Chains A and B, each alone.
Chain A
Amino acid sequence: MVGTEAATTPAIRVAVGSAEHDRANGVLEAAREAATDVHIVETGPTGAAALAPVVLATADDRTAVHANVSPDRARELVETLEAGDVPTDDAHAVAESDEGISMPKTGPLAAGQRHVLARCGWAAPAALDESLAERARDEPEDLFEAVAGAGLLGRGRGDGHTDESIAEGWETARRSDGETVVVVNGNESDPAVGGDRLLLESRPAEVLDGALAVAAAVEATDVVVYLNEDDDLAAQRVREAVENVDAGGTEIDVVAGPDRYIAGEMTMALEAMEGADRLEARLRPPGPSEVGLYGRPTVVHTPRTLAQVRAFAAAPDEFETSAADPGSRLLTVTGDGVTGPTTVELATDTALAEAVADGEEYKMACVGGRFGGITRSLDVPASAPALAGARLGTEGGIELFDGATCALEFAGARAKFAREANCGRCVPCREGSKQLVELLRDVYDGNFQPSELRELSRVVAESSTCEFGQAAPRPVTTAMDAFEREIAAHAEGRCPSGVCTETN
């Protein structure tokens, strides 16, 4: 049943995401076969791949959370529930609630808070109880004023207003000529940053509702959801959600762009949507809010931003609106010692370390996705200004690396990615990334030139056209901040981590 988020009890919920798709589908089928009276609900993933497949068994205001469930175990869970008991034996957690996943005390689901993620793994993806868009259509100014007053910032590199006031972008779009479009930029190809994919697979109805609400606030006529062509499950669930939400006359399109890192950049996303056969960033200013898709004013938001807007509208009192970056941030933890990618939600005043489970040891972390900053310490709040102050990236990814990772080799690998994956348009990024790789290679030849590396990084970051080049040198400069001695050792023919045996 797709209409409402809460299923009639007793109910078994099976969380199915793309990462555990086949296994979880097997569990879902087994549960369906075993059930007679119990309701079986297919939900989206929870965000904790290590626990998948996850099954929730609910009756009488109690929910048992079961992790790593096999089809056989699923049958048993259904049978126990059919017999009138909540199957608490061997449960990962038991909650005295029938509203959403209450937090287990330990494990990957225990980290941080679950506001934006509250219904991930709990509600059917296309189900929606309360429509924010409907409210916004009645009182568009209210949403606008509230979001402007709270100073909500855009989330993720693909947003039109990353780490900037989204209301300012709305204002610009409203002032600009032409019929406004709202774009949901859900094309993220970086596997280490999973927040948008999680929302699209788990709560597409909320993402769409958020987009429709923004459309009302900026008087847009169209909403376009832009996905990664390889995200089949997200595409399917978004389409189901489109069928299920009340668009109130707003046209909704669902399209997909290539699975390439650059295709997530806001203007290359627009190019892909316009059918360009080669992707290249557009000049700015003016940015998409003024001149965007087909030249029309275009408000570009990531699913993360839209989920944030929706969470804010649902419970404004829970937002610390005096904060420089109110709300929460979705962070995906991956890397050495992490069993499966885990996407958690941290309030922006919480330290990143909270996202990392106890016992996960690391030598260094790369914070902020593909071109994040390298750090030894995660004792940094998850807010945009704090992350920037620590020279880390705000794109929600934390990659952990153990002692067998060499900071120089890692920085070199990211520089090579920049060299290969850029769009080719501008000199600082296209040629600068080549020379960055060369200067790092020189270290192995005994020639470590910190000031040349810094100079080049500065120019690439400050004179590149789009966020790709602006962020690209960050792994290199932050590796030099945190691991300068380790890098310098290579110039003497020694890799302290024992990784770089052959100087490349």
Chain B
Amino acid sequence: MSTDHTGRPESLPSVPSIDDPRPQPPLTEHFNTGTATDPDVGARETSSLTVDGEEVSVDEEATIIDALEEVGADEDLSALCYYDREDTDRIGPRSECRTCMVETDEHGLVPSCSFPAEEGLTVRTDSTEAEEARSVNLDLVLSDHNLRCTTCGKNGRCELQDAAIEADVEVPRYGVFDDRDEYEPIDESSPFIQIDRNKCILCNRCVEACNDVQVEGVLRIEGSGPDTRIGFQNGADEMMDSTCVSCGHCATVCPTGSLVEQDYTDAATIPVPGFTQENSIGETIGEDYDGQPNPATPMKGNQTYEDDALDGEADDD
């Protein structure tokens, strides 16, 4: 049995004679985002449910978290990976962090960000099991996180930091990711966006912003199990070799210091001389971008260049 599929598997052959009735925007058809095709998770109709004893009604397409928001019960949940701003219909719910678990009489523990707000549900946010699940899952997120806020470009404007403070995390149960030998090098190759995967919570917002909002098809999720990480659809090792156009949307939606605009990488850090985010990891890739003339990566430029070259060859024949 192969369990070590960490590389990029070949595309599997799809079922030959089955119709796909799903509408697909032509541009995104060939994107390999590496993520599952989730069903629409919202409720089918307007419904009313009970949240912590209060009756609430919500609109069609709502998930439980919408009902929690109605009564302010969402205050008690981290709901870390949930994206509740513009573009919400195109970003999430990814429902991966499970720090939004609530108890329902009907289905037991469910993630409120992605569970349909079904008619008649009885929801409780304060059951022991739900509180335990939220707290353990938040600590699990932190266990894989390089928690060095003082040198982080998102210090003070970070959703994970906020969540940890609001949940009164003092000492995370499982510690934090703190093993210099295991850190991934920071990707400094792009003059516009820095990637520090040691801070990534795999919320997938950047991938969706890149593919579904900007329709650029640069970012993807790759690998599996402990090797799951954000990567590039063209298989590049670093951002500068990807097809990135430096629109910055990914960095805007990123809840942590994993994707930061280069201008801000040191903006919020506490100025301890000689101690920066880069040297907190100790390793970076692709630092030499000084002469980069425009926001598009060379790869993006190369695409047309290679196409031209091919055309040229064809002409010669």
Q: Specify which chain A residues have a CB less than 8 angstroms from the CB of B188 in the assembled complex.
A: none
**Nearest B-chain residue to A418, judged by Cβ:** B225
Point out which of A267, A280, A422, A427 has the most chain B C-beta atoms below 10 A from its C-beta: A427
Q: Specify which chain B residues have a CB less than 8 angstroms from the CB of A432 in the assembled complex.
A: 136, 140
Task: Name which of B93-101, B148-156, B257-265, B293-301 contacts chain A.
Answer: B93-101
Indicate which residue in A251, A275, A419, A462 contacts B225 across the interface (CB closer than 8 Å). A419
Given contacts A273-B15, A426-B98, 14 further A-B contacts (CB under 8 A): A224-B18, A276-B36, A277-B10, A277-B11, A285-B39, A419-B225, A421-B3, A422-B225, A426-B95, A431-B143, A434-B143, A435-B143, A455-B132, A465-B95
Taking Cβ atoms with an 8 Å cutoff, the residues of A that contact B are 178-179, 181, 189-191, 222, 224, 251, 253, 255, 257-262, 267-268, 271-286, 290-291, 293-296, 417, 419-428, 430-432, 434-435, 438, 452, 455-456, 458-459, 462-465
Check A278 against B21 for contact (C-beta < 8 Å). no
Say how far A287's CB is from chain B's closest CB, in angstroms.
8
Chain A CB within 8 A of B315 CB:
no
Q: Specify which chain B residues have a CB less than 8 angstroms from the CB of A280 in the assembled complex.
A: 34-36, 221, 224
Check A291 against B19 for contact (C-beta < 8 Å). no
Indicate which residue in B11, B98, B141, B202 contacts A424 across the interface (CB closer than 8 Å). B202
Given the complex of chains A and B, what is the CA–CA distance between A475 and B28 in angstroms? Answer: 42
Point out which of B35, B39, B101 has the most chain A C-beta atoms below 10 A from its C-beta: B39
Say how far A298's CB is from chain B's closest CB, in angstroms.
10
Given the complex of chains A and B, what is the CA–CA distance between A283 and B40 in angstroms? Answer: 9
Chain A CB within 8 A of B85 CB:
no
Chain A CB within 8 A of B217 CB:
no
Check A274 against B14 for contact (C-beta < 8 Å). yes
Say how far B129's CB is from chain A's closest CB, in angstroms.
7
Given A276-B36, A295-B39, A462-B129: A427 and B98 interface contact (C-beta under 8 Å): yes
Check B133 against A417 for contact (C-beta < 8 Å). no
Check A425 against B12 for contact (C-beta < 8 Å). no
Check A434 against B35 for contact (C-beta < 8 Å). no
Say how far B220's CB is from chain A's closest CB, in angstroms.
8
Task: Name which of B107-115, B158-166, B284-292 contacts chain A.
Answer: B107-115
Check B9 against A278 for contact (C-beta < 8 Å). yes
Chain A CB within 8 A of B16 CB:
yes
**Nearest B-chain residue to A287, judged by Cβ:** B39
Q: Specify which chain B residues have a CB less than 8 angstroms from the CB of A284 in the assembled complex.
A: 39
Instruction: List B residues 1-48 near A (Cβ within 8 Å).
Output: 1-5, 8-22, 32, 34-41
**Nearest A-chain residue to B142, judged by Cβ:** A431
Check A293 against B15 for contact (C-beta < 8 Å). yes
Q: List 18 A-B contacts (CB under 8 A).
A: A179-B19, A253-B18, A275-B12, A277-B11, A278-B9, A282-B39, A283-B114, A285-B41, A286-B40, A294-B20, A295-B20, A295-B39, A422-B224, A426-B97, A431-B144, A434-B143, A435-B140, A463-B98
Say how far B143's CB is from chain A's closest CB, in angstroms.
6
Indicate which residue in A191, A296, A430 contacts B226 across the interface (CB closer than 8 Å). A430
Check A258 against B5 for contact (C-beta < 8 Å). yes
Instruction: List B residues 268-309 near A (Cβ within 8 Å).
Output: none
Point out which of A262, A421, A426 has the most chain B C-beta atoms below 10 A from its C-beta: A426
Check A427 against B97 for contact (C-beta < 8 Å). yes
Given the complex of chains A and B, what is the CA–CA distance between A253 and B140 in angstroms? Answer: 42
Q: Specify which chain A residues have a CB less than 8 angstroms from the CB of B143 in the assembled complex.
A: 431, 434-435
Say how far B210's CB is from chain A's closest CB, in angstroms.
16
Given A191-B1, A275-B12, A296-B21: A458 and B36 interface contact (C-beta under 8 Å): no
Q: Specify which chain B residues have a CB less than 8 angstroms from the CB of A261 in the assembled complex.
A: 1, 3
Say how far B18's CB is from chain A's closest CB, in angstroms.
6
**Nearest B-chain residue to A423, judged by Cβ:** B224
Say how far B180's CB is from chain A's closest CB, in angstroms.
18
Number of chain B interface residues as a range: 35 or more
Say how far A480's CB is from chain B's closest CB, in angstroms.
17
Check A455 against B136 for contact (C-beta < 8 Å). yes
Say how far A418's CB is from chain B's closest CB, in angstroms.
9
**Nearest B-chain residue to A271, judged by Cβ:** B36
Say how far A394's CB is from chain B's closest CB, in angstroms.
18
Q: Specify which chain B residues have a CB less than 8 angstroms from the CB of A459 in the assembled complex.
A: 132-133, 136-137
Q: Specify which chain A residues have a CB less than 8 angstroms from the CB of B22 in the assembled complex.
A: 294-295
Check B133 against A277 for contact (C-beta < 8 Å). no
Given the complex of chains A and B, what is the CA–CA distance between A43 and B98 in angstroms? Answer: 49
Q: Specify which chain B residues have a CB less than 8 angstroms from the CB of A260 in the assembled complex.
A: 1-3, 5
**Nearest B-chain residue to A424, judged by Cβ:** B228
Given the complex of chains A and B, what is the CA–CA distance between A296 and B22 in angstroms? Answer: 9
Check B3 against A277 for contact (C-beta < 8 Å). no
Point out which of B37, B99, B227 has the most chain A C-beta atoms below 10 A from its C-beta: B37
Given A191-B1, A286-B41: A253 and B129 interface contact (C-beta under 8 Å): no
Check A427 against B34 for contact (C-beta < 8 Å). no
Say how far A443's CB is from chain B's closest CB, in angstroms.
16
Q: Specify which chain B residues have a CB less than 8 angstroms from the CB of A427 in the assembled complex.
A: 96-99, 137, 140-141, 201
Check B227 against A424 for contact (C-beta < 8 Å). yes
Indicate which residue in B37, B101, B141, B202 contacts A463 across the interface (CB closer than 8 Å). B101
Q: Specify which chain B residues have a CB less than 8 angstroms from the CB of A428 in the assembled complex.
A: 98, 133, 136-137, 140
Given the complex of chains A and B, what is the CA–CA distance between A191 and B2 in angstroms? Answer: 12
**Nearest A-chain residue to B9, judged by Cβ:** A277
Chain A CB within 8 A of B173 CB:
yes
Given A258-B2, A296-B21, A431-B140: A438 and B174 interface contact (C-beta under 8 Å): yes
Check A281 against B137 for contact (C-beta < 8 Å). no
Chain A CB within 8 A of B223 CB:
yes
Given A422-B225, A428-B140, A463-B111: A271 and B21 interface contact (C-beta under 8 Å): no
Say how far B99's CB is from chain A's closest CB, in angstroms.
8
Given A296-B21, A424-B225, A463-B111: A271 and B37 interface contact (C-beta under 8 Å): yes
Chain A CB within 8 A of B116 CB:
yes
Indicate which residue in B8, B16, B21 contacts A277 across the interface (CB closer than 8 Å). B8
Given A278-B34, A459-B136: A283 and B1 interface contact (C-beta under 8 Å): no
Given A258-B2, A260-B3, A277-B9: A291 and B202 interface contact (C-beta under 8 Å): no
Say how far A61's CB is from chain B's closest CB, in angstroms.
44
Chain A CB within 8 A of B196 CB:
no
